[in-house]
C-alpha cells in the first residue's frame, strides 16, 4: 500500500485524490490511513492544493443595540444579528409598551392586596 501511495501521490493534488486514484471508498477511515502513510513515510505533499471551500464568507456587521462592529458569516445558521448574547437578550421598550405595563401593574390584584395590607398595618 505504501508503494502505491508513493507512486500515486505525485499526480494527485489532495488526499481525497489519492483515495480516488487507488479506487478506495472516499470516507474518513481511508483518508486517515492515507494521511498516516504520508506522515509516517514523510512523503512530499507541497504540490497539494489547499482550497478552503466555504459556502459562507465573513462579513463585517454593526450591532444594532450597542453599535460596536463584529465579524460573522453571511447567511445560514451561523449568521448573527447582534455582537453578543447580552445585546441580543436586552430589549428596548417603547413609550407605548411602558404605559401598557404601568397600567397593568397598577390594576393588578396583587398590588391591591398589598395596598390593603399596608393600610391595615398603618392603623
Q: What share of the chain is helix, strand, coil (3-state, %, to 5)?
A: 50, 10, 45
What does the pLDDT look like over 54-111, one tens digit per residue? 677 788 999 988 999 998 888 777 788 889 989 888 887 888 988 888 888 888 888 8
Q: Please, which pLDDT band fits residue 52 given cuts at 50, 70 and 90?
A: low
Alpha helices by DSSP H, listed for 1-123, are: 2-9, 15-21, 28-41, 85-89, 95-106, 109-122
Q: What are phi and psi of 28, to 5 degrees?
A: -60, -35
Mean pLDDT score across all residues of the chain: 85
CA-based torsion, 8, 11, 16, 20: positive or negative: negative
Enter the pTM of the model. Answer: 0.41
pLDDT at 53: 67
pLDDT at 69: 92
Amino acid at each position: 500500500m505504501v508503494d502505491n501511495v508513493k507512486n500515486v501521490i505525485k499526480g494527485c493534488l489532495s488526499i481525497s485524490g489519492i483515495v480516488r486514484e487507488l479506487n478506495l471508498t472516499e470516507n474518513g477511515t481511508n483518508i486517515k490511513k492515507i494521511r498516516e502513510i504520508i506522515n509516517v513515510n514523510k512523503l512530499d505533499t507541497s504540490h497539494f492544493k489547499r482550497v478552503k471551500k466555504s459556502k459562507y464568507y465573513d462579513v463585517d456587521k454593526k450591532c444594532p443595540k450597542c453599535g460596536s462592529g463584529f465579524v460573522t458569516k453571511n447567511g445560514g445558521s451561523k449568521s448573527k444579528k447582534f455582537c453578543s448574547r447580552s445585546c441580543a437578550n436586552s430589549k428596548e421598550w417603547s413609550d407605548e409598551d411602558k404605559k401598557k405595563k404601568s397600567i397593568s401593574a397598577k390594576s393588578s390584584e396583587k398590588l391591591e392586596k398589598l395596598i390593603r395590607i399596608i393600610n391595615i398595618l398603618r392603623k
